[in-house]
Amino acid sequence: MVTIMADVSVLEVLLYGEPIGTLTRVSGDTSLFAFSEGYVADAGRPVLSLGFKNELGELTTDFGTQNMHLLPFFSNLLPEGHMRDYLAERAGVKPVREFFLLWVLGEDLPGAVTVRPADGEAWPPDADDGEDHHDDHRDQALRFSLAGVQLKFSALGDKQGGLAIPAKGVGGSWIVKLPAQGFDAVPENEFSMMTLARLCGMDVPPIRLIDVADIGNLPEGMDKVSGQALAVERFDRLSDGSAVHIEDFAQVFRVYPKDKYEKASQRNIAQVLAAECGEADIAEFIRRLTFNVLIGNADMHLKNWSLIYPDRRQAALAPCYDFVSTIAYIDDDKAALTFSRTKKFSGFSKDELSHLAANAGLSEKLVLGTARETVARFHEHWQAEKGNLPLTADAIKAIEAHLHTVPIA
């Protein structure tokens, strides 16, 4: 694997630390991805993404070329929106140049994927945005490398219960999400909704609130951020530091992040779970879907659902994340994704769930029974805990008003 031409760069793609393919950049920002011959030939190969399976369940190996954007699987490993702009500026890369963003951030990506320059290739001069940037700028960018929109980073825990950002941005076992600009108490909101979800029987990773002032090694410019941050234990990392592979449903459906609200529905997600997972995962999906309607989460898009591969080959529904009552901030009567026929919260009824079950190949008895049970548990724990959770009075008022508009509630 040798770079012959000056305008060609190669990134090696690894899964669980083993090379499985390459991303090659040629002719400016045109890129192409290819699996290695060894990965293609390995009948017991670990799964990189269901999005690389064809209709027959075989591995897809012909991808063509992309310009600026990488393939959707890799594009979805990168941050979005303001977070992408922030990191690109720190790294000295234009936000649209995804090949070089992945080069910078490839040491600590979600799941068990890592990316590194092939043969130790040096950073090419034409990758920079014209400003004077050095390797230490790119190291700083890595400290905020996890995909998403909100300013968040991977952190290490200590024996005293504190958290600190690793100096190089690699190796953290917690995700810390800072307070959101322009919205009050978002970490407290998410902590409350995730706590309720656990009480209602959902698979929620360990979470806690921590004062921003108690987080060690924050980078420059973060000293003006104050209040509570949310810390979530990474479910894609084991206690020994090894990685467990995950992928979100934008990757499964080969959808770019900008289309995470449009290109698939909750019914489509259910169809994948019916084909790839067991009954317990389907019940958990209905539990989460119902719960997020009840709390008024209008932002459960494709990237907020993920699969996990505990044995490297068999998909399962990954633990919960990003449960926020968005109606506490923005009055919205629609969900991010269509359920089966409608996005309207007021349309989330037994009939809509029956339609979803029939068209996704799910047991109607399982779907309706799980939804009924979730509604009952929600009301029980909401009434008991709403006064004990760190929610604002406005958030409680918004949720209670919203519940009167949801038929299944």
The residues annotated as belonging to the active site are 299
Angle at 83 between CA 78 and CA 84, to 5 degrees: 50
Instruction: Using CB atoms within 10 Å of the CB of residue 120, give its burial: 0 to 12 exposed, 13 to 18 middle, 19+ buried.
Output: exposed
* Beta carbons of 64 and 72 less than 8 angstroms apart: no
Query: Which 3-state string (H, E, C) describes 239-307?
Result: CCCCECEEEEHHHHCCCCHHHCCCCCCHHHHHHHHHHHCCHHHHHHHHHHHHHHHHCCCCCCCHHHCEE
Structure tokens of 222? 């973060």
Structure tokens of 291? 């719960």
* Beta carbons of 174 and 232 less than 8 angstroms apart: yes
What is the rounded radius of gyration, in angstroms, for the C-alpha atoms of the chain?
22
List of residues 6+ apart from 87 with CB closer than 8 A:
79, 101, 104, 105, 141, 144, 145
Across 118-198, the runs of DSSP E, i.e. the strands, are 152-157, 163-164, 174-177
List of residues 6+ apart from 341 with CB closer than 8 A:
347, 352, 355
Structure tokens of 187? 């970490």
* Beta carbons of 200 and 377 less than 8 angstroms apart: yes
